[in-house]
Amino acid sequence: MPGEVEITIASHPRWLRLARSVVQDFCVAVDIADRQTQSIVTAVDEALSNVMKHAYGGDHSRFVSLSCGVHDKELEFEIRDQGFPFNPLDRDVPPPNELRSGGRGLYLIRTIMDRVEYRRDGGSNCIRLSKTLDAPARPAQRGAGKTNGH
Amino acid sequence: MPGEVEITIASHPRWLRLARSVVQDFCVAVDIADRQTQSIVTAVDEALSNVMKHAYGGDHSRFVSLSCGVHDKELEFEIRDQGFPFNPLDRDVPPPNELRSGGRGLYLIRTIMDRVEYRRDGGSNCIRLSKTLDAPARPAQRGAGKTNGH
Amino acid sequence: MDINVKRDAARSIVEVAGDIDLYSSPAFRETVLDLLKKRGQKNVIVNLSNVDYIDSSGVASLVEGLQEARKRSARFMLVGLKEGPRRVLELTLLLNVFEIHSTEEDALQS
Amino acid sequence: MDINVKRDAARSIVEVAGDIDLYSSPAFRETVLDLLKKRGQKNVIVNLSNVDYIDSSGVASLVEGLQEARKRSARFMLVGLKEGPRRVLELTLLLNVFEIHSTEEDALQS
Ligand SMILES: Nc1ncnc2c1ncn2[C@@H]1O[C@H](COP(=O)(O)OP(=O)(O)O)[C@@H](O)[C@H]1O
Ligand SMILES: Nc1ncnc2c1ncn2[C@@H]1O[C@H](COP(=O)(O)OP(=O)(O)O)[C@@H](O)[C@H]1O
């Protein structure tokens, strides 16, 4: 597993709220400031919504995974689906204008995150969204010690 | 995947809060009453804590998974770890008394949930906690339809 | 998300509570467009003071409401924007496009 | 979880905010036991009015506090129990074991 927390949800929008809670709680656990957390939640939510709407074309019977990790000053979210192959970097993302009803998701993702990477991995689309933090995040302590029960 | 939502966390207690949010949000999404949700969150949290403390002996470098599902009137949570083999049904769970400092986790789990099942699956411990609902939960709509983007 | 509509001859107030996202925005969109199209309301106020989160599909619904209102020479106002939703409108370059007031009273008196 | 201790000659009040679980209970336990053991406090009040969740390790810490207090003939009181924590104490058959008051004032006057 690339991160400390991974979640898989059915591709139904009813689970987006739960996925946002996970991102929120993850950011709180690694001491990200509230304001930055809000934006990061937005970016990840837009990526998950796009998978449900576009990669799976609204089919609710599929699954989408989100892995959350932090490495030194890099906060990383990886979104994985087995849907229609789509590389978000191939697409032009002009600033949204007020007359258009859709088309703000990719813009928000790119504006909020510092890096968007795409790879096709077997039958999966894998998008990695990263954000460089001002200060190193609290270490996620993988294998960093022991907790004693009492 | 047995449920609609599955989460894997590193075996560090800092992620328990996030796991509780997932259970909470799952219960809200399938319309479980608040009071019942609170108890269910307790039971699942105790099971996850036990894995971290006992199955992994406090080693933070392992992982524990939780899958949440609903089938008609059955709410099901499956907790899976790759730690020390342990069948919670083999153990006597007397009502806790005030003088004892530990030993209330399994009692809470059994008191709150309607059914506790255990199986050893390859190298994994797999505990399933179920609760029969008074009314059928809102269907989790696996493959039940389409959402249209706009 | 819960929606409550208060309506009289002069104006409609759409009170939303909860998150507006891909799951809930279709119902929100329909409520707003109905008021303008079917009810012919000339003043629509969307109260977002109990909304912590709005995604791009929610923003799209607001934009559609605004466009529909303009087409019909109606007013379309937002009130009670919290920090999160405000920031999303800012990032999508829409903060100066909408008529935004602090409270319902301010909007009604404007 | 945040802990704040208010202390004078007569009593200590331990104000907790947040969840008491396997992650946070060691710090909570240490605070409570220190007041009784090292500081020799004769009246310890744990204010749980900002605690939504307590797990069995948190309950164990409370029980240890109570035992330690009894050993030293000190009083150990809980105030501001919310529904969730109250239910956990009820399920673990401890609701009548602790001295529980609604507010700090009630506890101080008792
Ligand atoms: N995960 C995806 N899979 C397939 N196509 C996508 C995906 N994400 C975005 N797209 C395409 O890029 C377009 C722009 O996406 P976006 O900016 O999020 O706006 P919207 O979803 O509102 O159309 C979409 O309309 C769709 O055609
Ligand atoms: N997942 C587990 N793996 C191994 N041993 C366990 C597990 N869960 C519980 N146990 C054993 O059962 C005992 C009772 O558990 P519990 O009632 O939760 O209380 P506590 O964790 O406070 O000891 C534990 O002390 C431990 O020995």
Reported as type and span, the H/E element at residue A7 is strand A5-10
The yes-or-no verdict on residue A143 having pLDDT over 60 is: no
Of A81, A19, A67, the residue nearest A45 (C-alpha): A19
Of D20, D13, D16, D12, the residue nearest D3 (C-alpha): D16
Bridging pattern class, strands A124-132 and B5-10: unpaired
- Pocket test residue of A106, A113, A124, A126 for ligand 1, highest count of atoms within 8 A of CB: A106
Contact at CB, D22 and A147, closer than 8 angstroms: yes
Structure tokens at C23: 């799951």
Give the Cα separation of B61 and A146 in Å (integer).
9
Structure tokens at D51: 């605690």
**What residues of B are in contact with residue C22 (Cβ under 8 Å)?**
147, 149
Residue D35 CA to its chain's centroid (Å): 11
Task: Name the A residues in 19-38 with CB < 8 Å from any B CB.
Answer: 21-22, 25-26, 29
Average pLDDT (A92-112) is: 89
Give the Cα separation of D1 and D85 in Å (integer).
15
Of A21, A71, D96, the residue nearest B7 (C-alpha): A21
Pick the ligand that lies closest to the CA of residue B53.
Answer: 2
The Å distance, Cα A32 to ligand 1 centre, comes to: 28
CB of B105 closer than 6 angstroms to any ligand 2 atom: yes
D96: CB partners within 8 A, 6+ apart: none
Give the Cα separation of D52 and D84 in Å (integer).
6
User: Is some CB atom of chain C closer than 8 A to the CB atom of A41?
Assistant: yes
Per-residue pLDDT reduced to its tens digit, D3-56: 999 998 889 999 999 999 999 999 999 999 999 999 999 999 999 999 999 999
Q: Which atom of ligand 2 is nearest to the CA of A150?
A: 22
Residue where the block lists tokens 């109990």: C50
Structure tokens at C82: 């919290």
* Minimum Cα–Cα distance from A61: chain B residue: B143
Helix H, strand E, coil C: the string for C39-76 is: CCCCEEEEEEEECCCECHHHHHHHHHHHHHHHHCCCEE
Reported as type and span, the H/E element at residue B69 is strand B63-71
The Å distance, Cα B6 to ligand 2 centre, comes to: 23
D30: CB partners within 8 A, 6+ apart: none
DSSP D59: H
Q: Which burial class, exposed, middle or buried, applies to D108 when counting CB atoms under 10 A from its CB (0-12, 13-18, 19+)? A: middle
pTM of the predicted protein model: 0.92
Of B88, B93, B82, B91, the residue nearest B52 (C-alpha): B82
Other beta carbons less than 10 A from residue A112's beta carbon: 22
Contact at CB, C56 and A13, closer than 8 angstroms: no
Give the Cα separation of B48 and B62 in Å (integer).
12
Of A123, D21, A120, the residue nearest B41 (C-alpha): D21
pLDDT tens-digit profile, chain B (150 residues): 568 999 999 999 999 999 999 999 999 999 999 999 999 999 999 999 999 999 999 999 999 999 999 988 899 999 999 999 999 999 888 888 777 888 899 999 999 999 999 999 999 999 999 999 887 676 554 333 344 333
- Whether the CB-CB separation of B98 and D89 falls below 8 Å is answered with no
Q: What is the rounded average pLDDT for all residues in chain A?
A: 90
- Whether the CB-CB separation of B150 and C57 falls below 8 Å is answered with yes
User: Is some CB atom of chain D closer than 8 A to the CB atom of A146?
Assistant: no
Q: What does R_g of chain C's alpha carbons equal in angstroms? A: 12
- Whether the CB-CB separation of D54 and D19 falls below 8 Å is answered with yes
CB of B67 closer than 6 angstroms to any ligand 2 atom: no
ipTM of this predicted structure: 0.92
User: Is some CB atom of chain B closer than 8 A to the CB atom of C84?
Assistant: no
Give the Cα separation of C66 and C57 in Å (integer).
14
pLDDT tens-digit profile, chain C (110 residues): 999 999 988 899 999 999 999 999 999 999 999 999 999 999 999 999 999 999 999 999 999 999 999 999 999 999 999 999 999 999 999 999 999 999 999 998 88
The pLDDT score that the predictor gives to residue A135 is 74
- Which residues is A80 bridged to in the sheet? A65, A126
The pLDDT score that the predictor gives to residue B134 is 80
- Whether the CB-CB separation of C97 and C77 falls below 8 Å is answered with no
The yes-or-no verdict on residue A1 having pLDDT over 60 is: no
Is the Cα dihedral A141, A143, A146, A147 positive or negative? positive
Q: Which atom of ligand 2 is nearest to the CA of B83?
A: 3
User: Is some CB atom of chain C closer than 8 A to the CB atom of B150?
Assistant: yes
Query: What is the residue type of B58?
Result: G
Q: What is the rounded average pLDDT for all residues in chain D?
A: 96
DSSP state letters, A74-95: EEEEEEEE-SS---GGGS--PP
Q: Which burial class, exposed, middle or buried, applies to B42 when counting CB atoms under 10 A from its CB (0-12, 13-18, 19+)? A: buried
Strand boundaries in chain D, DSSP class E? 2-7, 12-17, 43-50, 75-79, 99-101
- Which residues is C5 bridged to in the sheet? C14
Reported confidence tier of residue A139, pLDDT bands at 50, 70, 90: low
Per-residue pLDDT reduced to its tens digit, A59-72: 999 999 999 999 88
- Whether the CB-CB separation of D32 and D65 falls below 8 Å is answered with yes
Q: Do chains A and B touch (3 or more CB pairs under 8 A)?
A: yes
Per-residue pLDDT reduced to its tens digit, A28-55: 999 999 999 999 999 999 999 999 999 9
- Pocket test residue of A45, A49, A50 for ligand 1, highest count of atoms within 8 A of CB: A50
Bridging pattern class, strands D12-17 and D43-50: parallel
